[in-house]
Amino acid sequence: MKKQIKVSMTIAATMLAMSGIAHAAPAELNVYGASAQYTYWNAQAAHFASTQLGCTAGSAVNNSGKHGFVSATACTSTLVPVNSVTGTRDLDIRYSGIASAEGPLAASKQAPLDVSLITSTAGACNVANGERAMYASATTTVCKQVHVGTSDVAGESLTQSSSGQKLGAITTGGQFAVTMTGVDTSALNPNNTVIVPFGFFVNASVKATSCTAGLIGNYATTAAQCDTAPGKGDGVLGAAATITNISREEANLLFSGYVKNWTDLGGYFTSNPVTVCLRHAGSGTHAALDLTVLNSNWGSNIVGKEKTLSTLPKAPPYIYFNQGSGDEIKCVNGNSDANPTGALIGAIGYADADQAVNDQTTTTSQNVRQLKYNGYYPTRTAIRNGQYDFYTNAWLYTNNDATDANNIANDATNGLIAYAQKPANVPSTKANYWAAKTEMKFNRGSDISYPGKAVATSPQTP
């Protein structure tokens, strides 16, 4: 009898072990950091899982630009640690967009800039293990180890400072101050994938007079200034209209806090106090503005302190910092405590180039217009052909810890990087703006260098 019981217990243990293998927890791939790259993975995570990992991928779940989740089942690729019995494995892909600094900080197991990022619905996260609050699956958050940290600039380029309200002219966010000295990424594996384009956005009340005939588009105050030759008389001066372009010189003056009124940039501008909307330090978009547009080596120092209507002296320019790109667009729209749905003010800001701001029916963008920069919009073709230079090379930082039983293998993180480097994998929703690094005919060698000729290993036309 005892022998029979022993045999039965052995069989039961074996069946239980096999059951555990057959129903192994899903593998995980957790991507965290830059807000611009959040929208990229929100569009492409399911496509990556199905085309590169042989999974059946569900639809992306997202919460308006902070956290996303894709559930992929029955993955067959050897890049995923598959079940030894079934030959497949389920996979959970998470991606969170907060700010560029938070990507390499999480991947290298450093503390976040914002302590709220390590408090999930399920409790406090383990910083020493590189954990951050991410989507559990749908609406709740759970602490998860970050495998890939995303940043719009190199971690070492995040050297800016800012102080002010977290949400610009909306004071419910509270005070927020950041002093960056760069993020040490020496323990991480760095990879460039896509080109992140940025652009300038202005409130519709920022107006100037320009030529509608002759020297079309040039700012002017008289019709004679629009003539194609002195005294020719072929110039026509139009009525004041919302501006459509900003130059590097104008951007330097505005975002360093030196312009009080738009007329300071020329008498053709309509008198309007200046409001400057910026991202808080730690943002890759903010660092990109500082290093690729202002660049103190040839331009100006970016402003670092809030200045509001109530700050003495109560005079423009008014300067607001914002935690996210969406918050900054609301700032440009004129959103404030007094006018929560926007107002016509002399505001200008910058954000990811593909921000959807021209829908006049939405409360967050009815007053916002996209600008050209030095005469060009931030399109994919203008960027790769050397006509537009307000962009950076995106970074994907990986660590060597993605190897435990429930996490995805390091091979899969490399597969993610290779996937993002292919021009064909730029999401259709971004294809007019974003480019893959491999298609660039011109590119910058670092965040602070001017673009030069590059060899496109995957050339595209035009």
Q: What is the pLDDT of residues 203-219, one digit of tens each?
A: 999 999 999 999 999 99
Instruction: Between 89 and 411, name the one with better pLDDT.
Output: 89
Tell me, what's the pLDDT at 247? 97
Tell me, what's the pLDDT at 358? 52
Tell me, what's the pLDDT at 214? 98
CB 349 within 8 Å of CB 206: no
Q: Quick one: which H or E segment has residue 30?
A: strand 27-33
Q: Which residues contact 229 (CB under 8 A, 6 or more apart)?
A: none
Q: Which two tokens stand for residue 72?
A: 């992929």
Q: What is the pLDDT of residues 382-404, one digit of tens each?
A: 999 999 999 999 999 998 776 65
pLDDT band per the 50, 70, 90 thresholds, residue 405: low
CB 353 within 8 Å of CB 198: yes
Instruction: Between 25 and 125, name the one with better pLDDT.
Output: 125
* Average pLDDT of the residues of the chain: 90
Q: CATH code for 20-158+183-195+392-453?
A: 3.40.190.10
| CATH architecture designation of domain 159-182+197-206+244-391 | 3-Layer(aba) Sandwich (3.40)
Segment among 6-15, 23-32, 255-264 with least mean pLDDT: 6-15
Q: Are strands 27-33 and 148-151 parallel, antiparallel or unpaired?
A: parallel
Question: How far apart, in Å, are the Cα atoms of 178 and each of 113, 282, 321?
Answer: 7, 7, 11
Q: Counting Cβ atoms within 10 Å, is residue 66 exposed (0-12), middle (13-18) or buried (19+)?
A: middle
Amino acid type, 236: V
Please state the rounded mean pLDDT for residues 373-384.
97
- Give 321-348 as a DSSP string: EESSHHHHHHHHHT--SS-TT-----EE
Q: Structure pTM?
A: 0.90
Q: What is the pLDDT of residues 407-457, one digit of tens each?
A: 676 788 889 999 999 999 999 989 999 999 999 999 999 999 999 999 999
Residue 18 has pLDDT above 50, yes or no: no
Give pairs for 407-410: CB < 8 Å, separation 24+: 407/27, 407/28, 407/29, 407/145, 407/147, 408/27, 408/28, 408/29, 408/79, 408/80, 408/81, 408/91, 408/147, 409/27, 409/79, 409/80, 409/81
Residue 120 has pLDDT above 80, yes or no: yes
Tell me, what's the pLDDT at 403? 61
Question: Which residue reads 């501008």 in tokens?
Answer: 269
Question: Among 243, 244, 223, which Cα is nearest to 234's?
Answer: 223
Q: Are strands 211-213 and 161-167 parallel, antiparallel or unpaired?
A: unpaired
Residue 108 has pLDDT above 60, yes or no: yes
Question: Among 72, 78, 85, which Cα is nearest to 22's?
Answer: 85
Listed in order, the ranges of the chain carrying CATH 3.40.190.10 are 20-158+183-195+392-453, 159-182+197-206+244-391
Segment among 12-26, 247-261, 393-407 with least mean pLDDT: 12-26
Residue 55 has pLDDT above 50, yes or no: yes
pLDDT band per the 50, 70, 90 thresholds, residue 39: confident
* Number of C-beta neighbours around residue 73 at 10 A: 15
